[in-house]
Amino acid sequence: MNIIFYRRKKGHKDSVQLSSWWHYTIAGLLLASVAVVVIVAGYLLGVTWGHAPIITLWEEDLAYQYRQLEIIENHHTAEIDSLSHKIGLLEGQVTQLSALGNKLVALAKIKDSEFNFTKKTVPTGGRNPQKNVAKDHTKHFSIQDLKKDLSHLQQVIRERENQLVLLDNLYTRLDAELATIPMGRPVKKGWISSYYGTRKDPFTGRRQFHHGMDFATKKNSSIYTVAGGIVTYAGPKAGFGKMVEVDHRNGYVTRYAHCTKVIVKKGDAVKRGDVVAVVGSTGRSTGPHVHFEILRGSSINPLKYTKKTPPKD
């Protein structure tokens, strides 16, 4: 391809020869320019001469997409709010279970280290709050993080419930054991007429060891067992008159003697506070009273047991 340049002076002409690739490049640029002009013109003509519905459809579709994004965002926020609410409820439940656990630990007199109800339920942390944080804080929460916290709380509740079951079983056992330990007096009213230990025998006048305590009270008053157990003897016994013996299945045995009437029979199960006999003066007795003994292998002084106040039911 040759390009010819004419000079104004002297009528002289010059020429430049271009290679074939330049030829194609220039031709391509010319064609592209024409295409752009045609497209722009077509667009302007379309807008001007009645093709506006196409643009309207584009705008409507775009608005629809915006609405869908808004729905998704609202759903996302609602899910976060729902998870946050569930987490709040579960944290409240954990607090109640922890308070109950601490109470049971204290009642059972167990070391806190064995049943820890004070550790944090959900690990927390993070950077210091930044300035100019958006007002909608829910957008800063991750659903995955909230679900992780929710899962952790559910695990903590399961652990708390398992610990409480163990504590309840332990406390029930301790309570059952406590119910079989002698506590209190065998009569509601009366006074101590003779203590445990060496004393002057009221019949012989000689010094003799007294293996129990005597509670003087009105005849026909009720005699109560001071702990739960099984009646192993109920009837007359030499020197004791009518007597009731209760085995508490923990090494303790109690005896109630000089009764005028026995209410229970051998093999009966009794609990603390049950009436087992009636005050009298049978056997070697100088008047209405109950001879009260506590044995643990051999007789022991009942005084400290009679001073204990039994727990209320």
Tell me what pLDDT residue 222 has. Answer: 97
* Whole-number pLDDT of residue 134: 42
Contact criterion met (CB below 8 Å) for 282 and 289: no
How confident is the model at residue 174, as a pLDDT?
74
pLDDT of 13 strictly over 60:
no
* 45, pLDDT greater than 90: no
**Out of 1.10.630.10, 2.70.70.10, 3.40.50.300, 3.90.10.10, which CATH number does the structure's domain 191-306 have?**
2.70.70.10
- Residue 89's pLDDT is 74
Distances (CA, A) of 109 to 55, 92, 165, 182, 282: 80, 26, 16, 20, 44
pLDDT at residue 8 greater than cutoff 60: no
End-to-end Cα spacing for the chain = 118
Identity of the amino acid at 24: Y
Distances (CA, A) of 22 to 3, 15, 26, 27, 29: 12, 16, 6, 8, 11
Question: Which range has the worst mean pLDDT, 43-52, 88-97, 106-115, 250-259?
Answer: 43-52
- Could you tell me how many residues make up the chain? 313
What pLDDT, on the 0 to 100 scale, is given for residue 39?
58
State CA 108 to chain mean position distance: 17
**Rounded Cα gap, residues 146 and 138, in angstroms:** 11
Kind of pairing between the strands at 191-194 and 298-300? unpaired
Task: Report the alpha-carbon distance of residue 87 to residue 80 in Å, rounded.
Answer: 10
Is the CB of residue 20 less than 8 Å from the CB of residue 1? Answer: yes
Provide the pLDDT confidence category of residue 151 given band limits of 50, 70 and 90. Answer: confident
The C-alpha atoms of residue 191 and residue 34 are separated, in whole angstroms, by 127
Instruction: State pLDDT tens for residues 77-93.
Output: 777 777 777 777 777 77
Closest CA to 283 of 246, 244, 247, 254: 244
Do residues 260 and 280 make contact, with C-beta atoms less than 8 angstroms apart? yes
**In this model, does residue 204 exceed pLDDT 80?**
yes
Q: What is the pLDDT of residues 107-146, one digit of tens each?
A: 666 665 556 665 554 444 434 444 444 444 444 556 677 7
- Under 8 Å between Cβ of 274 and 256: no
Residues paired with residue 279 on neighbouring β-strands, in sequence order? 259
**Relative orientation angle of helices 143-179 and 52-108, to the nearest 10 degrees:** 20
Q: Which long-range contacts link 60-69 to residues 24+ away (Cβ below 8 Å)?
A: none
